[in-house]
Amino acid sequence: MKTLRAKIALLLVISIVSVVSLITITMASILGTQTDTASELLSRQAISLYAMAKRGGTAGILSDRPAPGEVDAGQTELLRSTTARLGTPLDLSVTRDLDDGRLRTASIRVGPQGWLMLDYDPPSAPEWWGWLLLITVSVGSIAVFVANRMSEPLALLERTVEAVDPNGALPVLPEEGPTEVRATAAAINSLSARLKRAMESRMRLVAAAGHDFRTPLTRMRLRAEFVADDEERALWLRDIDELKQIADSAIELVREETAQDAPEVIRAGDLVGSIVSELRELGFAVELTGADSVCVRANRLALSRALRNLFINAATHGVRGAVSVSGGATARITISDQGPGIDPAMLDQIFEPFFRAERARHQTFPGAGLGLSISREIIMREGGNIDIVNGAAGGLIQVVELPAVSGRADPFPPKVTPAVRF
Q: Convert the pLDDT of each residue in 190-244 to its tens digit.
A: 887 887 777 777 766 666 777 677 778 888 888 888 888 888 888 888 888 877 7
Does the structure show a pLDDT above 50 at 53?
A: yes
Q: Which CATH architecture has domain 179-254?
A: Orthogonal Bundle (1.10)
Report which of 191, 177, 57 is spatially closest to residue 113, judged by C-alpha positions: 57
The proportion of the chain whose per-residue pLDDT surpasses 90, expressed as a percent, equals 11
Residue range 81-137, pLDDT digits in tens: 888 888 888 888 888 876 766 788 888 888 777 888 888 877 655 556 666 677 777
| CB contact set of 294 (below 8 Å; sequence gap of 6+) | 267, 268, 269, 325, 326, 327, 328, 331, 404
Pairing mode, strands 264-267 and 114-120: unpaired
Identical fold at 179-254 and 261-405? Answer: no
Contacts of 262 (CB under 8 A, 6+ apart): 299
Has residue 295 got a pLDDT over 80? Answer: yes
The CA distance from 353 to 373, in Å, is 6
The more confidently predicted of residues 12 and 52 is 52
Q: Any idea what the Cα angle at residue 196 is, between residues 169 and 175, rounded to 5°? A: 70
Nearest by Cα to 213 from 255, 241, 234: 241
Query: What is the pLDDT, as a whole number, of residue 414?
Result: 46
CATH 3.30.565.10 assigned to domain 261-405? The reply is yes
CB 292 within 8 A of CB 326: yes
Q: Mean pLDDT, to the nearest integer, of 66-89?
A: 86
Q: What is the pLDDT of residues 365-420, one digit of tens each?
A: 455 456 787 788 888 888 899 998 888 878 889 999 999 988 665 544 444 444 43
144-199 per-position pLDDT tens digit:
777 777 777 767 777 776 766 655 667 777 787 777 777 877 887 888 788 777 77
**Among 120, 112, 62, 113, CA closest to 94:** 120
Q: Which residues contact 148 (CB under 8 A, 6 or more apart)?
A: 5, 155
Angle made by CA atoms 95, 99, 104, in degrees to the nearest 5: 30
> Cα–Cα distance between 79 and 155 in angstroms, integer?
62
More confident residue, 350 or 326: 326
Quote the radius of gyration of the chain (alpha carbons, Å).
45
pLDDT score recorded for residue 333: 94
- List CB contacts of 247: < 8 A, sequence separation 6 or more: 209, 210, 211, 213, 214, 217
Tell me, what's the pLDDT at 262?
A: 73
Domain locations in the chain as residue ranges = 4-120, 179-254, 261-405
Q: Which residue, 170, 44, 66, 191, is CA-closest to 116?
A: 66
Does this model's pTM top 0.75? no
- The answer to whether residue 332 scores a pLDDT higher than 90 is yes
Bridge partners (DSSP) of residue 118 are 106
State the Cα–Cα distance between residues 104 and 154, nearest whole angstrom: 61
Phi-psi category of residue 73: left, alpha or beta, with phi > 0 → left and psi -120 to 50 → alpha? alpha
Backbone dihedral angles phi then psi of residue 388, each to the nearest 5 degrees: -125, 125
Q: How many CB atoms lie within 10 A of CB 125?
A: 9
Residue 1 CB neighbour total at 10 angstroms: 6
Structure confidence at residue 113 (pLDDT): 76
Residues for the chain: how many in total? 422
